[in-house]
Amino acid sequence: MIVAKQKPLEEIRQMIEGYERILLLGCGTCVAICMAGGEKEVAVLASSLRMADKISGKNRIFREHTVERQCEWEFLDKIEEQVKEVDAILSLACGVGVQATSERFPEITVLPGLDTLFMGMPLEEGIWVERCAGCGNCLLDKTGGICPVTRCAKGLLNGACGGSKNGKCELNPEKDCAWILIYEQLKKQGKLELIKEFRPPRDYQLKGWRVTT
């Protein structure tokens, strides 16, 4: 799941300066689950912006709508008429949703209301942890299902670094060393020989240009 957080209100207010009719567009999937950009968050943000405008003597129009997913045009097609009635869209979606909305409606400015953080999983209610960086070269079959790219503070593909102490990361003593976790997992699975395999450096050459079919 993509995890994001809402930008500070003052930053959003600065971003929408100069626009009079603004559509606050939520996304009902990932960012709704992490409580950053769903229908409820759209309503709260719209209320905050209206209140701030009232205090500052402005009288802008804030419209609210949430689509199922902003990353798919079939859902964006349904708001085409609403888009024609505004000056800008404040998207409460991840970076993919913002870009998809901008591509679908190239004649209008689409502004990001969220900061996209990572792909993660819920650790407990209201807390998400990063588990995937979308690096395009998954090696979880070699590391016991534990991703060293996201869980090792140094992103080491060949570990451990030698700096861990009592099973904790040298950079963050409260964090488990990813490579010790990998070692213990492979040991349980009877696959410790995998930890000896050399993994070449990640290829960044085509980052951002990957297309799958």
Contact 110, 102 (CB under 8 A): yes
pLDDT band at 5 (very low <50, low <70, confident <90, very high): very high
> 2-118 in CATH: which number?
3.40.50.2300
Q: What is the pLDDT of residue 207?
A: 59
Radius of gyration of the chain (CA): 22
* Segment 126-182, tens digit of pLDDT: 888 888 888 878 899 999 999 999 999 999 999 889 899 999 999 999 999 999 999
Alpha-helical (H) ranges within the chain are 9-15, 30-33, 39-56, 73-76, 80-83, 95-104, 148-151, 178-189
Distance of alpha carbon 58 from alpha carbon 167, whole angstroms = 56
Please state the rounded mean pLDDT for residues 1-23: 96
Residue at token pair 């209140």: 51
For residue 89, give the 3-state DSSP assignment.
strand
pLDDT digits (tens, 9 = 90+) for 187-200: 999 999 999 999 88
User: How far is C-alpha 166 from the chain's CA centre?
Assistant: 32
pLDDT over 70 at 205, yes or no: no
Domain(s) of CATH 3.40.50.2300: residues in the chain: 2-118
pLDDT band, residue 95 (cuts 50/70/90): very high
Comparing 36-45, 57-66, 127-136, 142-151, which segment has the lowest mean pLDDT? 127-136
Reduce the DSSP state of residue 122 to 3 states and report it.
strand
